[in-house]
Amino acid sequence: MPEIMMSKPESRQYKNTLWPYFFIPCLLLLIIFTLSGCGDNEQTQRKAFIDFLQTRVLANGRLDLPQLSEQQNKAFGHYVKDYAVIAHFHQKMATELNSSLVPVFTSMNALTSVNALLEQRNDLQIMADKSAQWQKDINAMRSQAEAQRGTLKQPPDLAKVYDQAYNKAVSQPADVAEQLFTLLPQVLKLIVVKADFIKDQGKKVTVTGNTLQFASQAQLNKYNAIQKQLVPLNAQLMALSRQMQQLMQ
């Protein structure tokens, strides 16, 4: 009796053939749901970041750039790096000003007598020489912040609010710092010139506390010429200093 060959059920062949076609649509569906979820999450993070900028940075007249909490880091997602651009600039600016301007104004405020002026003359000259480097440091910080800002990808609603925060936290303080560090060496050098002039008079000038009495009108005229340059520039410097304090609180 001839052997009968049994063929395999065709349903198993169909099952093996259909499985990849069934898997691909399911995979695409999973990707779609995943991407949709990411989009919703980004919107939530963006809204949280916008609210933070509006309430903590822009709402008050003074600048408030707090360190983010762990909860805020999670809530803002990848927008944390956007905040870091302005926060790091503010931190570095504050450090630079504390190490440069604070000693300068401390020394200037201590010039309560002619003798104090003469004693601090050399220190003031050193500060005048260093002030050019301080200005370069501030400019470098601003350039770095600008470069980092240029890499940020922000939707229009966030970009509008972020630009305002960036202007308040970076652009405005940097503008004032540029004016301040441009004026500072002029003021310091005039103070040094004033100290040198008084010292050069020797016994031809009488010093009583903060009062000077010159032996001739020519001496007095030269001293007044220095004061005429120094007084208005010093007033501008003090005004810029107060403005910087308000911006960097």
pLDDT digits (tens, 9 = 90+) for 145-195: 999 999 999 999 999 999 999 999 999 999 999 999 999 999 999 999 999
Mean pLDDT of 68-72: 94
Mean residue pLDDT of the chain comes to 84
- Residue 113 CB contacts under 8 Å (≥ 6 apart), including other chains: 209, 210
Q: How many CA atoms lie within 13 Å of 71's alpha carbon, on the beta-carbon side?
A: 2
Task: Return the SS3 of 92.
Answer: helix
Q: Of 151, 139, 31, nearest to 85 (Cα)? A: 151
Say if residues 83 and 164 touch (Cβ distance below 8 Å): no
Lowest mean pLDDT among 24-33, 155-164, 183-192, 217-226: 24-33
- Residue 169 CB contacts under 8 Å (≥ 6 apart), including other chains: 57, 63, 65, 86, 87, 89, 90
pLDDT at 27: 41
Query: Residue 40: pLDDT band by 50, 70, 90 thresholds?
Result: low
pLDDT at 11: 43
Tell me how far apart the alpha carbons of residues 20 and 76 are, in angstroms, rounded to a whole number: 40
Q: How many CA atoms lie within 13 Å of 117's alpha carbon, on the beta-carbon side?
A: 20
* Burial (CB count within 10 angstroms: exposed 0-12, middle 13-18, buried 19+), residue 166: buried
Tell me how far apart the alpha carbons of residues 1 and 19 are, in angstroms, rounded to a whole number: 40
Residues paired with 205 in a beta bridge: 214
Tell me how far apart the alpha carbons of residues 197 and 206 are, in angstroms, rounded to a whole number: 13
For 225: left if phi > 0, alpha if psi spans -120 to 50, otherwise beta; the answer is alpha
Tell me how far apart the alpha carbons of residues 164 and 161 are, in angstroms, rounded to a whole number: 5
Lowest mean pLDDT among 22-26, 112-116, 117-121: 22-26
Query: Residue 117: pLDDT band by 50, 70, 90 thresholds?
Result: very high
Mean pLDDT of 65-83: 93
Task: Return the SS3 of 215.
Answer: coil
pLDDT at 249: 67
Residue 176: other Cβ atoms inside 10 A: 18
Q: What is the DSSP string of 36-51?
A: HHHHHHHHHHHHHHHH
DSSP assigned state of 248: T
Report which of residues 128 and 7 the model is more confident about: 128
Say if residues 111 and 47 touch (Cβ distance below 8 Å): no
Report which of residues 6 and 196 the model is more confident about: 196
